[in-house]
C-alpha cells in the first residue's frame, strides 16, 4: 500500500474504532515505525496516549498483539474499553477461574483476538511461550517498561524475565512504552529487552491542560473543602503525608457531605481495591491517599490533584499531578505549602542513617522547596527538572504566570536578617533556627531570647516594620538565594554563606519578593477555567445517563463515553447519527450501542429548553 493510502487507512481506523479525529504528538510516528516492523522505544507523559500506540497497530495488522503489563487490576477495564470500541481483546492472569481461562485459550488458538494482555510472570509459566508461538503474534508491547530497570523507582524482578522473550521471537517487532525514564533507565530498557536498533521517541513532558498553583497552607482543611465545593460533580485526588491523615481527611470531608474515601498501604488489599474501584466508578468523588495510590490509575477524568502536604521530591510530585486530566481537559494541581512542612521533613531526613541517602533526600527536598517558593513559571521549573527547556515565556496556566509576584529592593531587611545571624554567632557558640532570628528581630521576650541574652543584641527589635510571616518569608528567600545556609542535620540552624558574608560587608543590593497580603480568613482557591464551554445542565443529564448505562454493564463510566465526548455533545447538540459521529470519541461501535439513547436525551433537552444558548 502506498504511504498516503496507509495514512488514510490509519486515520480512518482512528475515527472508526476510537472516535478520535487526530493523533496526539508522536502517536502517528510511533505507529508508523512499529507497523513498518521496527522496534520502538516510546517515552510519553501520562495522558500522552500510549495505549493507542499499540492498540491501533493491533487493529490494522494481521495477527495477535501481546501487551505485557504489570497492572493486573487494570487489565479487565482495558479489555472492556477495547470491546466497547468493537475490538476483540482478552487477558490472561491469575484472577481467572479454570473454565474461563480455558475458553480464552481456545479462542487464542483459533485466532479470534487482536489483543492479549498478560502479566510478565505468565510468560514464564511452563509451556506458555510454546503456546504463544502458535498464536500468530505480530507484535509485543511492553507497557510500564521502566519496571525492567533496577535503576528506576519501580523495579519489578518479574520484568527481568522478559529478556528471554527475544530468544523465542527474534523477528517479531517489540515496543517498549513508559512515562518515567531517566537517560540511564532508558538505556537499560533497550538493553534488557534487547531491542534491535530501536527508533526512540521522547515526547515533551509538558502537560498544557494542567494548572499548577501553590497556596499558603493555613487552615488547610477549610481550604481543601472550599475548593472541592466548587467542583461538586468532579473527581479528584488529595495526597497526604501520612496514613492517618488520609483517614482523617476522608472522614471530615464525608461529614461535610462529600463522598470521600481513604487509600494507603496500611489497609488490607481488599479494602484498598474496593476503595479504588469506587473511585474509578465515580461512586466516591475524592480519594484521600498516600503516594501508594495512583500507579496505573487509568481514570481519565480526574479533575484535580491536591497535595495537602509537601511532596518529598519533584519527580513524585510530577507523577502524582500527572494523574489529573488525562483526557486533556483543564485540571487543577494545587499544592498547600507551609514552611512548617519543610522543617518537619528536615527532621525526618536528619534521621536517615546513610550520609549518601541523606544528602540525596536533602537535595530533593531543596528542589521541591525551590519549586514551591519560586517566582518563576511553575512549568518552567518542572520541565527544567527533566532537562527540558521551556522557551515559550509566560505559560498562562500557572499561578506565577497568571498573578506574577512583585519584587522590591529588599536590601534593608536582608541586611537586618543577616546581621542578626552574625550577631548571634558572636555571642553564642550554637546555631539558631529561622524562628529564633525572627523572634529577635521582632523584639520577642520569650524565654530563649532572654536566657541566651539575645535581647541585648544590637539587632534586637529592629524589625518592627514587618510581620512575623513576612520575616519568615524573607529568611527563606535568602536561604534559597544562597545567602544563608540552613543545616538539615542540626535542627535547621542558620549560618551565613560566603555569599551572605560578602553581601553583608559590601551592602550589596538584594531583591526580595514583596510579601503577599495574607488574608485573615482562609483564602478561597478558585478553580481553573478554559473548559470546553457547553450547556452544563445537559452535560449533567448526559453524565447521569452515562452512569446508568455503566452501572448496568458493570464498567467504569469513562468506558461508555469520556467527559470530552459528553461536553462536546452538550456544546454541539447532535440530533442524528451523522452529527453524533462528528463528536470526538464516538466511533462506529459506540454510535451503534448508545447513539439512539444519547440523541434522544439531547432532543428532549432541546424540546424542553427551546432557547438554549449556542456555543460556537
Ligand atoms: P497514557 O497511558 O499515556 O497515560 P492513555 O493511553 O490512557 O494515556 O490515554 C489517555 C487519554 O487520552 C485516554 O482517555 C484516551 O482515550 C485519550 N486519547 C489517546 N489518544 C487520543 C487521540 N489521538 N485523540 C484524542 N484522545 C486521545
Ligand atoms: Zn507558568
The C-alpha cell at 200 is: 526512540
> How many A from CA of 558 to the centre of ligand 1?
12
Domains contained in the chain, CATH given: 3-202 (3.40.50.300), 210-402 (3.40.50.300), 407-513 (1.10.10.10), 536-608 (1.10.150.80)
Strands 174-178 and 137-142: parallel
> How many A from CA of 102 to the centre of ligand 1?
32
CB atoms within 10 A of CB 363: 11
The C-alpha cell at 247 is: 483517614
Q: Given this model, what pLDDT does residue 487 score?
A: 77
pLDDT of 530 > 60? The answer is no
Give the span between the Cα atoms of 499 and 482, in whole angstroms: 7
Q: In the chain, what is the straight-line distance between the N-terminal and C-terminal CA atoms, in Å?
A: 39
The tens digit of pLDDT for each residue in 573-611 reads 999 999 999 999 999 999 999 999 999 999 999 998 887
Q: Which atom of ligand 1 is nearest to the CA of 14?
A: 23
Q: Given this model, what pLDDT does residue 528 score?
A: 47
Give the span between the Cα atoms of 497 and 243, in whole angstroms: 38
Q: By the 8 A CB rule, do 207 and 514 touch?
A: no
pLDDT of 521 > 50? The answer is no
The tens digit of pLDDT for each residue in 31-41 reads 999 999 999 99
Q: Given this model, what pLDDT does residue 198 score?
A: 96
Q: By alpha-carbon position, which residue is closest to atom 24 of ligand 1?
A: 20
List the alpha helices (DSSP H) in 311-444.
314-321, 339-350, 355-373, 378-385, 399-402, 411-427, 434-442
The tens digit of pLDDT for each residue in 294-349 reads 876 789 999 999 999 999 999 899 999 999 999 999 999 999 998 889 888 988 89
Q: Is the CB of 298 under 6 A from ligand 1?
A: yes
212 bridge partner residues: 333, 398
For a pLDDT cut of 70, what percent of the chain falls above it? 95
Q: By alpha-carbon position, which residue is closest to atom 14 of ligand 1?
A: 327
DSSP one-letter code for 289: E
- Ligand lying closest to the C-alpha of residue 46: 1
Strands 137-142 and 64-68: parallel
Give the span between the Cα atoms of 32 and 3, in whole angstroms: 10
Give the span between the Cα atoms of 552 and 569, in whole angstroms: 22
Q: Is the CB of 49 under 6 A from ligand 1?
A: yes
pLDDT of 519 > 50? The answer is no
Strand ranges in 390-500 using DSSP code E only, listed in sequence order: 407-409, 484-487, 493-496
The tens digit of pLDDT for each residue in 355-375 reads 888 888 998 999 999 999 888
Average pLDDT, integer, range 261-275:
95
Mutate to test the pocket of ligand 1, among 18, 52, 71, 565 (most ligand atoms within 8 A of CB): 52
> How many A from CA of 23 to the centre of ligand 1?
9
Q: Given this model, what pLDDT does residue 615 score?
A: 67
Q: Is the CB of 325 under 6 A from ligand 1?
A: no
Residue 615: alpha-carbon gap to chain centroid: 31
DSSP one-letter code for 398: B
Q: Is the CB of 47 under 6 A from ligand 1?
A: yes
Q: By the 8 A CB rule, do 259 and 286 touch?
A: yes
**Residues with Cβ within 8 Å of residue 115, at least 6 apart in sequence:** 55, 58, 64, 65, 67, 79, 82, 87, 88, 89, 90
Coil/strand/helix, residue 97: coil
Average pLDDT, integer, range 538-558:
93
Q: By alpha-carbon position, which residue is closest to atom 25 of ligand 1?
A: 20
How high does pLDDT run on average in the chain?
90
Q: Given this model, what pLDDT does residue 95 score?
A: 84
Coil/strand/helix, residue 160: helix
Q: Given this model, what pLDDT does residue 154 score?
A: 77
The tens digit of pLDDT for each residue in 85-106 reads 999 999 998 888 999 999 999 9
The C-alpha cell at 153 is: 523507582
The tens digit of pLDDT for each residue in 155-177 reads 888 888 898 899 899 999 999 99
Q: Is the CB of 330 under 6 A from ligand 1?
A: no
Give the span between the Cα atoms of 34 and 6, in whole angstroms: 13
Average pLDDT, integer, range 61-77:
91
What kind and span of H or E run contains 229? helix 220-229
What kind and span of H or E run contains 118? strand 115-118
Average pLDDT, integer, range 537-563:
93
Taking CA atoms, 105 is separated from 10, 93, 109, 127, 469, in Å, by 30, 12, 6, 13, 66
pLDDT of 28 > 50? The answer is yes
Angular region, 103: left φ>0, alpha ψ -120 to 50, beta rest: alpha
Give the span between the Cα atoms of 474 and 164, in whole angstroms: 57
Q: Is the CB of 48 under 6 A from ligand 1?
A: yes
**Residues with Cβ within 8 Å of residue 85, at least 6 apart in sequence:** 17, 18, 19, 587, 589, 590
Q: What is the pTM of this model?
A: 0.79
Q: By the 8 A CB rule, do 564 and 585 touch?
A: yes
Closest by CA position to 523, among listed 214, 212, 237, 215:
215
Give the span between the Cα atoms of 500 and 416, in whole angstroms: 12
User: Which of 275-289, 429-443, 484-498, 560-574 is the least confident region?
Assistant: 484-498
DSSP letter string, 37-78: T--EEEE--TTS-HHHHHHHHHHHSSSEEEEE-S-HHHHHHH
The CB-based long-range contact list for 377-383 (8 Å cut-off, 24+ gap) reads 377/401, 378/212, 378/213, 378/214, 379/206, 379/212, 382/205, 382/212, 382/314, 382/318, 383/204, 383/205, 383/206
Amino acid at each position: 500500500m502506498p504511504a498516503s493510502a496507509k495514512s488514510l487507512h490509519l486515520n480512518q481506523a482512528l475515527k472508526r474504532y476510537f472516535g478520535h479525529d487526530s493523533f496526539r504528538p508522536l502517536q502517528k510516528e510511533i505507529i508508523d515505525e512499529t507497523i513498518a516492523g521496527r522496534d520502538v522505544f516510546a517515552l510519553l507523559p501520562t495522558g500522552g496516549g500510549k495505549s493507542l500506540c499499540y492498540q491501533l497497530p493491533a487493529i490494522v495488522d494481521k495477527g495477535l498483539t501481546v501487551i505485557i503489563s504489570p497492572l493486573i487490576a487494570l487489565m479487565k477495564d482495558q479489555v472492556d474499553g477495547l470491546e466497547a470500541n468493537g475490538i476483540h481483546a482478552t487477558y490472561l492472569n491469575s484472577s481467572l477461574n479454570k473454565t474461563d481461562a480455558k475458553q480464552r485459550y481456545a479462542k487464542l488458538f483459533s485466532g479470534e483476538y487482536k489483543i492479549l494482555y498478560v502479566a510478565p510472570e505468565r510468560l514464564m509459566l511452563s509451556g506458555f511461550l510454546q503456546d504463544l508461538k502458535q498464536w500468530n503474534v505480530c507484535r509485543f508491547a511492553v507497557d510500564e517498561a521502566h519496571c525492567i530497570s533496577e535503576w528506576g523507582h519501580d523495579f519489578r524482578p518479574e520484568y527481568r524475565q522478559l529478556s528471554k522473550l527475544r530468544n523465542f521471537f527474534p523477528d517479531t517487532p517489540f515496543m517498549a512504552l513508559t512515562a518515567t525514564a531517566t537517560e540511564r533507565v532508558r538505556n537499560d530498557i533497550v538493553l534488557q529487552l534487547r531491542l534491535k536498533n530501536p527508533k526512540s521517541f521522547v515526547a515533551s513532558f509538558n502537560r498544557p491542560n494542567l494548572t499548577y498553583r501553590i497556596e499558603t497552607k493555613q487552615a488547610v482543611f477549610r481550604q481543601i473543602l472550599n475548593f472541592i465545593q466548587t467542583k461538586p460533580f468532579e473527581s479528584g485526588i488529595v495526597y497526604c503525608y501520612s496514613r492517618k491523615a488520609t483517614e482523617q481527611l476522608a472522614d471530615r470531608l464525608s461529614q461535610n457531605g462529600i463522598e470521600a474515601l481513604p487509600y494507603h498501604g496500611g489497609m488490607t488489599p481488599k479494602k484498598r481495591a474496593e476503595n479504588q474501584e469506587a473511585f474509578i466508578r465515580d461512586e466516591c468523588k475524592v480519594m484521600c491517599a498516600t503516594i501508594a495510590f495512583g500507579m496505573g490509575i487509568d481514570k481519565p477524568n480526574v479533575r484535580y490533584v491536591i497535595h495537602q502536604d509537601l511532596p518529598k521530591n519533584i519527580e513524585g510530585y510530577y507523577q502524582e499531578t500527572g494523574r489529573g486530566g488525562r483526557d486533556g481537559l483543564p485540571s487543577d494541581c494545587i499544592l498547600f505549602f507551609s514552611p512548617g512542612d519543610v522543617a518537619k521533613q528536615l527532621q525526618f531526613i536528619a534521621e536517615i542513617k546513610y550520609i549518601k541517602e541523606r544528602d540525596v533526600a536533602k537535595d530533593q527536598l531543596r528542589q521541591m522547596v525551590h519549586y514551591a517558593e519560586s517566582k518563576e513559571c511553575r512549568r518552567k521549573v518542572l520541565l527544567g527538572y527533566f532537562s527540558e527547556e521551556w522557551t515559550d515565556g509566560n505559560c498562562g496556566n500557572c499561578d506565577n504566570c497568571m498573578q506574577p509576584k512583585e519584587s522590591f529592593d529588599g536590601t534593608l531587611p536582608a541586611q537586618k536578617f543577616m546581621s542578626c545571624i552574625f550577631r548571634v554567632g558572636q555571642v553564642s557558640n550554637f546555631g539558631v533556627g529561622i524562628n529564633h532570628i525572627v523572634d529577635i528581630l521582632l523584639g520577642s521576650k520569650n524565654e530563649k531570647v532572654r536566657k541566651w541574652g539575645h535581647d541585648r543584641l544590637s539587632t534586637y527589635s529592629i524589625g518592627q516594620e514587618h510581620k512575623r510571616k513576612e520575616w519568615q518569608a524573607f529568611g527563606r528567600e535568602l536561604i534559597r538565594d544562597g545567602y544563608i545556609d540552613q543545616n538539615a542535620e542540626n535542627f535547621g540552624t542558620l549560618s551565613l554563606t560566603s555569599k551572605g558574608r560578602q553581601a553583608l560587608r559590601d551592602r550589596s543590593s538584594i531583591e526580595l519578593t514583596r510579601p503577599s497580603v495574607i488574608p485573615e480568613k482562609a483564602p478561597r482557591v478558585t478553580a481553573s477555567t478554559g473548559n470546553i464551554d457547553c450547556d452544563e445542565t445537559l452535560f449533567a443529564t448526559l453524565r447521569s445517563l452515562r452512569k446508568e448505562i455503566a452501572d448496568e454493564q458493570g464498567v467504569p463510566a469513562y468506558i461508555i463515553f469520556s467527559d470530552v465526548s459528553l461536553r462536546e455533545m452538550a456544546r454541539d447538540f447532535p440530533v442524528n447519527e451523522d452529527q453524533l459521529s462528528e463528536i470526538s470519541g464516538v466511533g462506529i461501535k459506540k454510535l451503534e450501542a448508545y447513539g439512539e439513547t444519547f440523541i434522544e436525551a439531547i432532543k428532549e433537552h432541546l424540546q424542553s429548553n427551546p432557547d438554549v444558548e449556542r456555543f460556537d
